[in-house]
Amino acid sequence: MYFIKAPPGLVTRYLWVGGVHGLTTGQLADLFAPWGQPTVVLPDHTPAATPTPPAAADQPPPSLGTAGGTAATAASGEAASEVSAAAALAAAAGEEASGSGAPAPTAAAADAARHNGDGSEPPLRCFHAFLEFPGEEHAAAAAAAVPKGGPWAAAGGRKIVATFADLRRDKRPVPRPVATSTQGMGVPGLELLTEFVSPQQEAALLAAVAAAEAEAAEAAAGAGAASCSGRGGGGGGGGGGGAVGQGTGWEVLAKRRVQHYGYRFDYLTRNVDLAKPLGPLPAWAAQLAARIGELPQVSMRMDQLTVNEYEPGVGLSPHIDTHSAFTGPIISLSLGSAAVMELRRGEAARPLLLPPRSLLIMGGESRYAWQHYIPHRLSDVVEGESLVRGRRLSLTFRQARGFACDCAYPEFCDSQEGVLPPTRISLLRQPQPQPQPQSQQSEEEGVGGVAVAGGPTAASVANGGGGSGGGAQAGAAPSISTSREASGAAANGGAAQGAAAGAGAGTSRGGSGEDQQGSPAGAGGGAGGAGGANGDEEGEEEEESRLAALEAEYVHKVYDAIAPHFSSTRFAIWPRVRAFIESLPPGGLVADVGCGNGKYFGVRPDLAVLGSDISAGLVAVAAARLHAPHCPATPHLSPPRAADALVADALRLPYRAACADGALCIAVLHHLSSPARRVRLLRQLLRVLRPGGRAIVTVWATEQEDPKKTLAKWTRIPTVAADGGAAATASATAATAATAAAAAGAAATDRMSASSSCTSLNDRAATGPATPRVDTGPAEPAGAAVAADAAASDAATAEAGADYFVPWHLPFHRTETARAAKAAKEAAVAAGSSAGGEAAAAAPKVDESKGAVVFQRYYHLFTQQELAALVEEALAAGPADADDTAGGDDAGGQVHAPGLAGAGSGARPCGVLEEVFYDRSNWCAVFRRDA
Ligand SMILES: O=C(O)CCC(=O)C(=O)O
Ligand SMILES: [Fe+2]
């Protein structure tokens, strides 16, 4: 395995960092720790750097400041960082260290430098190193944080350069001794039992496997099934009704054939579907499984068997069998021919010969934290002798798991936080969104049985809520005209909003003179009350259509186009969202509105999740996860689906009112382009929640942790909504102001820190009945209450957030996105050449230098007060009506408690804003519906 610098535009989870000479690996890791605890890999490919041992008192490692500026200058151009140790070090020294005066270190020197005799860590003698981050996002954030070309204060004034790197495996043949026994291999939990079966038994097993194809076909015919050839990979599944011993027959994968028994292993989801057992194992497999199960190292019932057939030259990609799919050890019996299997963890690669008739037991760490890999080779060299491979069959026995994995290796565990990204194969097999009538699309894409049929959902997809029946005016070029330009619509929109706000919250919307954008919305707001309801309806509809079209263009279309790539970057479970989910009552129902790839579906096994998203592409990814549930608590009882996903518009959720115990709305609200539409979404959440139900909403914050790497790279655009300037802050009621300010006070204390801050509003501003604290975060900083008081008086003048275009780079040379990128590229070129004006402006752009198609996504960044006020406004307005399907927000007629005034005059909001907190560049609100 070795690293190279990545080609321009390729974002990876590895960074090449130059200028590290003189640092210790520990210091280097610490320097980049804020972006995700990278593993430091040194260029000569000795085992990965271990955590820095405590420095010996008499020989401290040099401080970051001592060696400033000795090394790298610029990382431009092609650094010859393909790494043969000495060559790379010399190259690095030659390229980057000119003038440093340091002697070019040799590999041996670097190696020797790795550990001092006393256990302290000496400084690095190499000029570059590689950092392996948990994900691309982390690496990208880290790369962005390194100052370009100048000294870096955090690094003690050194110049550090960072570029993305690519990991390659095995291009250089690295002679590694192949072990013939697991003893001394250094892979805990791995055990090889040779001659586990006799040659006669081996022959019988090979014959049984050979006969299985015919038996499977026969069984299928007997069961009246029309299609069970198994060939082509789509078969199997069965449903459990077949004859005893029914397997899948041969399924043809790209390079090998497989048979499955017990449960079919799905290579798309890397999991088994417990709801679809294939039936008991056939006798020959059951006998073997029983014998294996009785081994003391195993001691469990094996209920799943995969037969792999490898022709000579065929191997198996490195992988860890999905934790959530199988529990306990994984056992593989080799038949026919030997092959070398390599066990890998980090930089360690330990090859082991698997002779025919041997049984390999992968238990414990070897099963959960080490990848296993069979190189694609025609022969293996073992103890100096070349062993030519023949046809090898392996029988891999496993036990399907019916519960979340709770192993000690969360970084490799898809049930735990370091959820693995989807496999390349799963990404390749993502259906690409086809341009088609959207209403049809929603019907077809609606997976599972929940709530898809009927209701307004189907038709709503294209419209994004834009006008009942009127559609999104698909032909119309999306306008990003400012509120000033759209003054006609603005006045009307403002009036409508005034109606909603006036009737609902009795807000101080008239105070929108603070509107920085100079939006005329203030006029509408001034009208307030019922007056707004009588505004120019045509104008309202026009405005709604315009905003819906904008969202369709700059949100929905983009996510559909980038879905597989986007999804591959989204798998971290955010601790605060997890904490919220964990705070929900047992056995409840959760609406995950804007579920994306469904990454939160499996957090709680006992909760049923209804996921919805307007992007069919993302719902397809989420749906794939449904076949890999981590959640069914009763594996053999065909449990009801614990989650389902469908394409739906968040502004018109196709669920019954008051059905959900919880609602998630993660990173969705900021894609809605007006305060009115944001309130509509919040009121939809309230409608779906039962009284007592709670929701968490997260949005991107104007206070970005690293604005130079985010805000500075995004395009600030004029507020798109006509009433955008009147953003919810100005509508804060006295109560809102107090709660908002309370949150602001505490949040301001640490809003720019990476750790989450949090605020339980109930503790600070007595705005309602005491509610249980969800907050699991640190205690309130001293002085926050004072700050809150001060902020309270400011709340009325609180700033609204701002609208941005945020680019998404879809790399066109990444295998897993090649098809999507190709389509997007062609579309971009076509749009650029055929359309003019704004349509062309909306089209994604090809950036050859970055090797990517660049899409622009619409975002509204929120201030903390703005989010709080928005939630308060929705709470005051009450749950959306069941028939809130019209585009225009005629909330004036829908408010459940008309005529409510602010808190001072006895308003009865339908619920409580429990807390607002800042978490990693997001503002998050938790609120509860009471009535
Ligand atoms: O062929 C083998 O021995 C291993 C098969 C395997 O790792 C798998 O099916 O997951
Ligand atoms: Fe495996």
Full set of structural domains in the chain with CATH: 2-168 (no CATH), 190-420 (2.60.120.1520), 550-800+860-929 (3.40.50.150), 815-855 (no CATH)
Give the integer Cα–Cα distance in Å for 861 and 190. Answer: 51
Compare 628 and 174 and report the one with higher pLDDT: 174
Residue 686 pLDDT exceeds 60: yes
Q: Is 386 helix (H, G, I), strand (E, B) or coil?
A: strand
Residue 621 pLDDT exceeds 80: no
- 468 CB-near residues (< 8 Å, 6+ apart): 885, 886, 887
Residue 765 pLDDT exceeds 60: no
CA dihedral 777, 779, 781, 783 (to 10 degrees): 130
- DSSP secondary structure letter of residue 44: T
Using most ligand atoms within 8 A of CB, pick from 374, 376, 391, 425 the residue to mutate for ligand 1: 374
Using most ligand atoms within 8 A of CB, pick from 182, 359, 372, 393 the residue to mutate for ligand 1: 372
pLDDT tier at 227 (50, 70, 90 boundaries)? very low
Across the beta sheet with 689-700, what order do the strands follow? 643-647, 608-613, 589-593, 660-666, 689-700, 922-929, 911-919
Query: Does residue 372 have its Cβ closer than 6 Å to ligand 1?
Result: yes
Compare 157 and 103 and report the one with higher pLDDT: 157
Q: What integer pLDDT is reported at residue 11 of this predicted model?
A: 82
**Helix, strand, coil tally for the chain in percent (to 5):** 35, 20, 45
Residue 401 pLDDT exceeds 50: yes
Q: What integer pLDDT is reported at residue 880 of this predicted model?
A: 93
Tokens of 275: 């709801």
Give the integer Cα–Cα distance in Å for 917 and 700. Answer: 12
Residue 794 pLDDT exceeds 80: no
Q: What integer pLDDT is reported at residue 324 of this predicted model?
A: 83
Compare 56 and 323 and report the one with higher pLDDT: 323
Range from 47-61, 179-193, 207-221, 730-744 that averages highest in pLDDT: 179-193
β pairing state of 608-613 and 643-647: parallel
pLDDT tier at 601 (50, 70, 90 boundaries)? confident
Q: Is 224 helix (H, G, I), strand (E, B) or coil?
A: coil
- Amino acid letter, residue 914: E
Using most ligand atoms within 8 A of CB, pick from 334, 360, 394 the residue to mutate for ligand 1: 394
Instruction: Express as a percent the part of the chain with pLDDT over 70.
Output: 57
Q: What integer pLDDT is reported at residue 822 of this predicted model?
A: 67
CA 71 distance to own-chain centroid: 36
Nearest 5°: phi and psi at 448?
A: 70, 180
Query: Does residue 304 have its Cβ closer than 6 Å to ligand 1?
Result: no
Closest residue by Cα to atom 5, ligand 1, is 396
Residue 252 pLDDT exceeds 60: yes
Residue 556 pLDDT exceeds 70: yes
Query: Does residue 308 have its Cβ closer than 6 Å to ligand 1?
Result: yes
pLDDT tier at 168 (50, 70, 90 boundaries)? low
Helix (H) or strand (E) holding 40: strand 39-41
Give the integer Cα–Cα distance in Å for 285 and 259. Answer: 12
Give the integer Cα–Cα distance in Å for 306 and 294. Answer: 19
Instruction: Express as a percent the part of the chain with pLDDT over 90.
Output: 32
Ligand 1 centroid from CA 319, angstroms: 9
Q: Cβ of 716: how many Cβ atoms within 10 Å? A: 12
Closest residue by Cα to atom 1, ligand 1, is 394
Q: How far is CA 221 from CA 249, 280, 335, in A?
A: 13, 18, 30
- Are 382 and 215 a contacting pair, CB within 8 Å? no
pLDDT tier at 489 (50, 70, 90 boundaries)? very low
Query: Does residue 517 have its Cβ closer than 6 Å to ligand 1?
Result: no
pLDDT tier at 786 (50, 70, 90 boundaries)? very low
- Are 374 and 342 a contacting pair, CB within 8 Å? yes
Closest residue by Cα to atom 6, ligand 1, is 396
Query: Does residue 259 have its Cβ closer than 6 Å to ligand 1?
Result: no
CA 626 distance to own-chain centroid: 15
- Are 569 and 135 a contacting pair, CB within 8 Å? yes
Name beta bridge partners: 717: 803
pLDDT tier at 83 (50, 70, 90 boundaries)? very low
Give the integer Cα–Cα distance in Å for 662 and 590. Answer: 5
Give the integer Cα–Cα distance in Å for 97 and 277. Answer: 61
Q: What integer pLDDT is reported at residue 828 of this predicted model?
A: 67
- Burial string for 791-805 (b: 16+ CB within 10 Å, else e) reads bbeebbebbbbbbbe
Ligand 1 centroid from CA 382, angstroms: 20
Tokens of 59: 């020989």
Query: Does residue 396 have its Cβ closer than 6 Å to ligand 1?
Result: yes
Query: Distance from first CA to last CA of the chain, Å, rounded?
Result: 60
Q: Smallest Cα–Cα separation from 91: which of 76, 105, 74, 112?
A: 105
- Are 468 and 885 a contacting pair, CB within 8 Å? yes
Ligand 2 centroid from CA 278, angstroms: 20
pLDDT tier at 695 (50, 70, 90 boundaries)? very high
Q: How far is CA 428 from CA 564, 663, 801, in A?
A: 8, 31, 38
Ligand 1 centroid from CA 234, angstroms: 20
Closest residue by Cα to atom 2, ligand 1, is 394
pLDDT tier at 829 (50, 70, 90 boundaries)? low
Compare 772 and 364 and report the one with higher pLDDT: 364
Q: What integer pLDDT is reported at residue 119 of this predicted model?
A: 54
Using most ligand atoms within 8 A of CB, pick from 251, 265, 306 the residue to mutate for ligand 1: 306
> Taking residues 385-398, what's their average pLDDT?
95
Closest residue by Cα to atom 8, ligand 1, is 396
Tokens of 826: 């062609």
- Are 558 and 565 a contacting pair, CB within 8 Å? no
Residue 770 pLDDT exceeds 90: no
- Amino acid letter, residue 352: L
Is residue 214 classed exposed, middle or buried when 0-12, 13-18 and 19+ CB atoms within 10 A define those classes? exposed
Give the integer Cα–Cα distance in Å for 133 and 138. Answer: 6
The dihedral through the CA atoms of 523, 525, 530, 536 has a sign that is: positive
Range from 4-18, 78-92, 339-353, 787-801 that averages highest in pLDDT: 339-353
Query: Does residue 306 have its Cβ closer than 6 Å to ligand 1?
Result: yes
Closest residue by Cα to atom 7, ligand 1, is 372
Query: Does residue 597 have its Cβ closer than 6 Å to ligand 1?
Result: no
- DSSP secondary structure letter of residue 134: S
Give the integer Cα–Cα distance in Å for 208 and 496. Answer: 73
Query: Does residue 337 have its Cβ closer than 6 Å to ligand 1?
Result: no
Using most ligand atoms within 8 A of CB, pick from 261, 269, 316, 330 the residue to mutate for ligand 1: 316
Q: Closest ligand 1 atom, CA of 308?
A: 1
Q: What integer pLDDT is reported at residue 818 of this predicted model?
A: 55
Closest residue by Cα to atom 10, ligand 1, is 321
CA 144 distance to own-chain centroid: 20
Across the beta sheet with 39-41, what order do the strands follow? 2-5, 161-168, 14-18, 128-132, 39-41
Give the integer Cα–Cα distance in Å for 249 and 519. Answer: 67
Residue 850 pLDDT exceeds 50: yes
Q: What integer pLDDT is reported at residue 801 of this predicted model?
A: 87
- Mean pLDDT, the chain, whole residue set: 68
Closest ligand to 355 CA?
A: 1
pLDDT tier at 169 (50, 70, 90 boundaries)? low
734: left (phi over 0), alpha (psi -120 to 50) or beta: alpha
Q: Smallest Cα–Cα separation from 859: which of 679, 573, 667?
A: 667
Q: What integer pLDDT is reported at residue 77 of this predicted model?
A: 28
Residue 635 pLDDT exceeds 50: no
The dihedral through the CA atoms of 585, 588, 591, 592 has a sign that is: positive
